[in-house]
Structure 1
Amino acid sequence: MSFDLECRNLTKRFGGTTAVDDVSFDVPSGSFFSILGPSGCGKTTIMRMIAGFLEPSSGDILIRGKSVLDVSPNKRPVNMVFQHLALFPMMNIAENIGYGLRRQGMAKAQIAVKVDEALDRIGLPGIGTRKIDELSGGQKQRVAIARCMVLEPDVLLLDEPLGALDLKLRERMKVELKALQAAFDTTFVYITHDQSEALVMSDTIAVMNEGRFEQMGSGRDLYYRPASAFVAGFVGDSNRWAGRVERAEGNVMQVRTESGLSMRASAHDRAMGVGDAAQIFVRPEAIRISTAADDLAHFDNHLSGRVTNLLFNGAASRIVVAADAEEIEVNLPQSGEFAALSEGDAVHIGWAGDQGNCFAAGSAP
């Protein structure tokens, strides 16, 4: 496998603060790689080092096998799309896309050919003479990417480029960005704090926390097999309980929560034992709901309670169930029986032990 980008033991310190702490990763050629994490975790610092705007305190950055540490930003085979796009309002679309080519001294006729090709690839043929302020937010996004891609970078860096868009347009642009990446067959390195953006678009995601990568893998890996309490709490939504292990059976832990519930979950640290502080995470969609207790008796974990809140969001609606001093979020099934639930109704909930993730107590978002 060939790699367009390799970062080796990358570290960046600002005075006594370590923003990026000995991070190493490889990005395969032609892939969509995302760095996902909360504000201040170090993801933008990594991108700025790759682009050449910051110099690492230590470590190395290789693009197509060659170190770029001594290469100035304008000479690196990378380009960058910023959150606010930085399109030139005084230029039309074709002039914006061809700006970098003009700076390189390319002939006008050749620029025109390349601009037309780029407009075709972003799905906006024949609109080169239009002004930037005549475009929608999504069209501006595509023009900003085309302006970078006509320069044929080895790696395109994207710094939270969907952050300024409204919710509906952001949802559509997730799909369009992935399609554009495939159309240009260029390696994308994308940073975001939005887990949905990363999960929808990425081939590989690195979850970052306090200057380090907590876990790197596919969206499915991160969602269904989180490697740490931080990843379990940050990627997707989860019910979370703190407690202590009261029984350990291989990779299954029986945990007594602080409110007195006893729960079984899959352990991610075989060194955990009886008496250890633990955290359990269970996703709302893993929990089954019924109006009859017998329907759920076969589950490792089953509780009775009452509906305290209805969180209507169409197909993504949830209910909150109060059970033994705990409030538990459960995805609301779309069948007519459950659509008629209302606050105060008695219900039963249950889930399998292997649907819960148990970690040693520690920091989580």
Structure 2
Amino acid sequence: MAPDLECVDLVKKFGDTTAVDNVSFSVPPGSFFSILGPSGCGKTTIMRMIAGFLDPTSGDIRIKGNSVLNTPPNKRPVNMVFQHLALFPMMTIAENIGYGLRRKKMPQAQIARKVDEALDRIGLPGIGRRKVNELSGGQKQRVAIARCMVLEPDVLLLDEPLGALDLKLREHMKVELKALQAAFDTTFVYITHDQSEALVMSDQIAVMNAGRFEQVGNGQDLYYRPDTPFVAGFIGDANRWTGRIERAEGKALQLRTSTGLAIRATATDALAEGDIAELFVRPEAIRLAGNSGDLGDFENRLQGTVTSILFNGAASRVLVQDEAGETLEVTLPQSGEFSSLQRGDRVHIGWGAAQASCFKGAA
């Protein structure tokens, strides 16, 4: 079975600037695929090429195995939800959802049936006569998706659709969007700069940087097994050091930082003695202890002083300054001996060499 969407060697240049640099990927039928990256990385350019609003400089775009390069936007089997939704305030909800069907000259009775079915599927039955300004932000999101889905696209493109919502509603809509995607059983291609959105909703995520895909994988692959320093630093939180490899025995390494800290790690890239490297350790991989003996067999052990406690429920963190003056972020247990931890307390911290990702760095 052909992928619902396939981009092959996609390039887009604006004058001397390359916005998309030889990107290839495929999206299986019925999946939720996200393109995640910082502003200006090229993700919106890819979306606009898929929709037909921009022509690629080179490469191909295929939907269900068929190239759409010469197909105008209104003839492509895709639809798009924009960040600001673009609902028509002068129309009722039913008129908004049925707008594309009326443009296709569908009989009114059939339009009414399809609109009612769409409202049922988005969990808003019976609101067809209401106006857009009577809806909450989350309801407007669902109506915008319903307006696209009644046209039965092969692929639905979503361009940062949660960006204009407040934090509480964004958290709620992550779950809603995933449920809607499953209910419609349609391929969603979602672009965002918010890693939490991508991690929660996506079957596969492409991390994009400077026009290229750094890594494509599921959330666990990207978080626990990053392929590049950019992915390790962009996905989730991480303590980060740069230093020189002073010992390399197979994949077992020791890195010396500029402040003199020696860190044992496991190689991710091919590294040799003398190489400059970047090393990343997740805050939750670091154990906090009252004394060194409680750190088990961890190869890396430090003493430090608590400089700040960042309470945030289950994800609360402690900032610990080591003896060399570097600050580490450590996940704080919510109970037990550290529930009364205070700024200025002396603590021991440690982590295993296998929990540190180490990459070759720029000289």
TM-score normalised by the shorter chain: which range applies?
over 0.9
SS at the partner of 2:116? Answer: helix
**Aligned structure 1 segments of 4 or more residues deviating by more than 2 angstroms:** none
CA displacement at 1:24 relative to structure 2: 0.5
SS at the partner of 1:289? Answer: strand
Q: Which residue of structure 2 aligns with residue 311 of structure 1?
A: 310
Matching of residues 182-201 of structure 1 within 5 Å: 182-201=182-201
Matching of residues 220-235 of structure 1 within 5 Å: 220-235=220-235
> 2 CA distance for matches of 1:85 and 1:266?
46
Residue 272 of structure 2 is aligned to residue 294 of structure 1: no
Q: Which residue of structure 2 aligns with residue 340 of structure 1?
A: 340
CA displacement at 1:362 relative to structure 2: 3.9
Q: Which residue of structure 2 aligns with residue 141 of structure 1?
A: 141
Matching of residues 1-16 of structure 1 within 5 Å: 1-16=1-16
CA contact (8 A) 2:2 2:65 kept: no
Residue 280 of structure 2 is aligned to residue 273 of structure 1: no
Letter in 2 for 1:303: L
Q: Which residue of structure 1 aligns with residue 52 of structure 2?
A: 52
Report Cα offsets for 1:27-55 as digits up to 9, x if no partner.
00000000000000000000000000000
Report Cα offsets for 1:156-201 as digits up to 9, x if no partner.
0000000000001000100110000000000000000000000000
Q: Which residue of structure 2 aligns with residue 360 of structure 1?
A: 360
CA displacement at 1:282 relative to structure 2: 0.4
Q: Which residue of structure 2 aligns with residue 37 of structure 1?
A: 37
> 2 CA distance for matches of 1:285 and 1:15?
45
Letter in 1 for 2:268: H
Report Cα offsets for 1:201-233 as digits up to 9, x if no partner.
000000000000000010100000000000000
CA displacement at 1:126 relative to structure 2: 0.8
CA contact (8 A) 1:122 1:180 kept: yes
Percent of residue pairs bearing the same amino acid type: 74
> 1 CA distance for matches of 2:36 and 2:243?
28
> 2 CA distance for matches of 1:68 and 1:55?
10
Q: Which residue of structure 2 aligns with residue 205 of structure 1?
A: 205
Letter in 2 for 1:354: A
Letter in 1 for 2:354: D
CA displacement at 1:116 relative to structure 2: 0.4
The number of aligned residues is 362
Q: Which residue of structure 2 aligns with residue 101 of structure 1?
A: 101
SS at the partner of 1:178? Answer: helix
Letter in 1 for 2:294: D
Greater shift, 246-255 or 141-150, is seen at: 246-255
CA displacement at 1:252 relative to structure 2: 2.2
Greater shift, 250-259 or 41-50, is seen at: 250-259
Q: Which residue of structure 2 aligns with residue 157 of structure 1?
A: 157
TM-score by length of 1: 0.98
Greater shift, 43-52 or 290-299, is seen at: 290-299
> 1 CA distance for matches of 2:98 and 2:258?
62
SS at the partner of 1:3? Answer: coil
Letter in 2 for 1:63: I
Q: Which residue of structure 2 aligns with residue 124 of structure 1?
A: 124
Q: Which residue of structure 1 aligns with residue 243 of structure 2?
A: 243
> 2 CA distance for matches of 1:93 and 1:13?
40
CA displacement at 1:259 relative to structure 2: 1.1
CA displacement at 1:2 relative to structure 2: 3.4
CA displacement at 1:297 relative to structure 2: 4.8
CA displacement at 1:336 relative to structure 2: 3.5
> 2 CA distance for matches of 1:264 and 1:100?
60
SS at the partner of 2:6? Answer: strand
TM-score by length of 2: 0.98
Matching of residues 55-74 of structure 1 within 5 Å: 55-74=55-74
SS at the partner of 2:4? Answer: strand
Structure 2 unaligned spans of 5+: none
> 2 CA distance for matches of 1:136 and 1:287?
42
CA contact (8 A) 1:229 1:362 kept: no
Q: Which residue of structure 2 aligns with residue 321 of structure 1?
A: 320
CA contact (8 A) 1:269 1:360 kept: yes
Structure 1 unaligned spans of 5+: none
Q: Which residue of structure 2 aligns with residue 284 of structure 1?
A: 283
Letter in 1 for 2:40: G
Report Cα offsets for 1:307-349 as digits up to 9, x if no partner.
0111111111111001122100001001142120000001000
> 1 CA distance for matches of 2:314 and 2:307?
19
Letter in 1 for 2:180: L
> 1 CA distance for matches of 2:234 and 2:42?
16
